[in-house]
Chain A
Amino acid sequence: MTAPDVPIIRTVGLDGMLVSFGDRLSEPANRAALALRAALDREGWPGVEETSTSLVSAFLRFDPRRLSHEALRARLADILEGRDWTQADLPEGRRLFRIPTVYGTDLAPQLDEAAHRAGISPGQAVAELSSARVRVQTIGFAPGQPYLGALPPHWDIPRQQGLTPRVPEGALVVAIRQFVLFSVATPTGWRHVGQTAARLFRPEAPDPFLLRPGDEVEFPSVTREEFDNFKRRRQDGIRMEPLP
């Protein structure tokens, strides 16, 4: 463990409990969260209604009438004791996705501002962001929507003070050394640096969610013209290959 005070168990509202492996994003904490959730699903404790992960935590929603806070806390302490979760393997069956992206232009108007915050030129920003290999650390916020990281340290830029009222589906946004790729049009406090044609959530499909935690993603730069061609052909240009 990185510090004596992790993992930490905290309540979330009335019927949620969260096991966190850190207070900032790290690869071991993310691995631990994914592995613990998988283990909790295998355990299937009565009274646990649903599990999930965030970047560095595993979450349980439970029925406090069937499983008390004290009992759940004790069970979690037990299972955490058993092993060093930060050493866990990444999930099986990981894949690499390449998602074509237009950086800047009127499609992604906050590239310059984000580059300025990161202390580099817009050109440098595109070079860095389009060559970064990032991993899906968790799916959250909106359906099928990945948090991806980690970007180099100078990309530890804050969210903006106010919310941008609306960014479109497929928007690539950046803050705190992470990308988010939006699966729905939404307000956000993250800065909109790129635009993709990706549809991450297809409710009508047999498998409605494109990405899974552990998958790796690159966002190669394409021209506005190439992007418009994808759109016209109702394609997203995404290429996928299995990772060894």
Chain B
Amino acid sequence: MTRALICHQAGPGLTVQDMGRTGLLAQGLSRGGAADRLALSEGAALLGQSDTLAAVEMAGMGGVFEATEDIAVALTGAPMRAEIDGAPVLWNAAHLLPGGAKLKIGAATAGTYGYLSVAGGIDTPLVLGARSAHLTAGLGAALGQGDRLPVGPARTRRSGVRLAVTPRFDGGEIRVLRSLQTDFFPPETLERFENTVFSRDQRGNRMGVRMNSDGDGFHVEGGLHVISEIIVPGDIQMTGDGAPYVLLAECQTTGGYPRIGTVIPSDLPRVAQAGPGATLRFRFVGLDEALALNLRHLAEIEALKSRVEPLVRDPASIHNLLEYQLISGVSSGADPEED
């Protein structure tokens, strides 16, 4: 019997996700994949494996899982309350999930998308080159009670490690590139867009999130007659009522609502992850600045593995020992070094 992760209880937004499918844009299929790909890379770094392996994405709420044998698991992305057989465990860390033990993951305490990675990766069959569910395209399905997810062979048995991650659950300044339709918007509209404080509408999904703000919408003259054109993740689309939608991993591949700009890839996880009450502002940056930011972002992903550290360290080397609750974990699921 192959090893597996059994899902005993599932929140409404659980899917298997990897880095998505490329090469099918011409057939109208967007890349999809994890809403917060950085969180997949963090999970992979914790487990010492490739970030192309699939994991369980959890929107807002986790579930109850059991492994058929001892399996190392990593918890990343939006922090959620987690415990193994009743003992709280730390988020942004890898733990041993003993065979038969119950891993219970509750609601997100910040952000939106949490990730449960397993050593060896979720090993469901490849469909069109990936394991990602792409629900808007009708590929795959949300996980439900009783689902049994095959787990691939693990190269390592590493657990008991943690990773201090870049916090990305409170919105903040989101950098935007001008894109092909930015010029449709009058300069005063662009300026007002940059000066507006937005909140992420909580009805967002993997296709995109609506940005709410006080005041007028961001209309463009003749915007409902624009020819449909290529869409990429990060594009900020103005629908007819003038509210911006930031398009995410599972976005459409073409569309006709005018787009005011494109969120740079390294800031997109902060849009996807912005939790209730988080505020966001958009700022246009030039191409050179965006390219430099992207190189830095890729270098940071590359460096994740070197930043993994043991969960239990020599107490003498921990300057803020009192903030740690070591192996018993922390009750909030948050990490003191995130603040």
Give the B-binding residues of A (Cβ under 8 A): 10-16, 18, 20, 23-25, 37, 49-57, 59, 61, 64-65, 69, 138-145, 147, 156, 158-163, 169, 175-176, 183-184, 186, 189, 201, 203, 208-209
Contact = CB atoms under 8 A, between A and B. Distances in A.
B224 A161 contact: yes
A11 B180 contact: yes
Contact of B28 (A12, A25, A142): A142
Nearest to B235: A13
Interface stretch (B12-20, B98-106, B136-144, B157-165): B136-144
B141 to A, nearest CB: 12
11 contacts: A11-B180, A13-B232, A13-B265, A18-B230, A50-B26, A51-B26, A52-B25, A52-B26, A64-B294, A147-B228, A176-B256
A14 B177 contact: yes
Contacts of A144: 27-28
B257 A189 contact: yes
A57 B294 CA distance: 26
A143 B29 contact: yes
B297 to A, nearest CB: 10
A140 B254 contact: yes
B155 interface: no
A176 B225 contact: yes
Given A50-B26, A52-B230, 8 more contacts: A14-B262, A18-B229, A18-B230, A25-B227, A54-B254, A59-B25, A184-B136, A209-B28
B138 A59 contact: no
B329 interface: no
B252 interface: yes
Interface in B153-187: 177, 179-180
Contacts of B257: 159, 189
B291 interface: yes
A12 B27 contact: no
A147 B254 CA distance: 10
B138 A184 contact: yes
Nearest to B225: A158
B28 A141 contact: yes
A203 B128 contact: yes
- Top 4 nearest A-B pairs (CB, nearest first) are A140-B254, A161-B240, A158-B224, A13-B262
A64 B232 CA distance: 16
A16 B230 contact: yes
B240 A189 contact: yes
A189 B229 CA distance: 15
Contact of B224 (A50, A59, A159, A169): A159
Nearest to B253: A140
Contacts of A141: 28, 228, 252-255
B221 to A, nearest CB: 12
Contacts of A16: 230, 232
A205 to B, nearest CB: 11
A156 B225 CA distance: 8
A108 to B, nearest CB: 20
Which residue among B24, B241, B265 has the maximum number of chain A CB atoms within 10 Å of its CB?
Answer: B24
B326 interface: no
Given A52-B230, A209-B27, A143 B252 contact: no
Contacts of A161: 224, 240-241
A235 B141 CA distance: 24
B229 A139 contact: no
Which residue among B24, B256, B265 has the maximum number of chain A CB atoms within 10 Å of its CB?
Answer: B256
Interface in B242-259: 252-257
B179 to A, nearest CB: 6
A176 B227 contact: yes
B4 interface: no
B195 interface: no
A14 B254 contact: no
Nearest to B256: A159
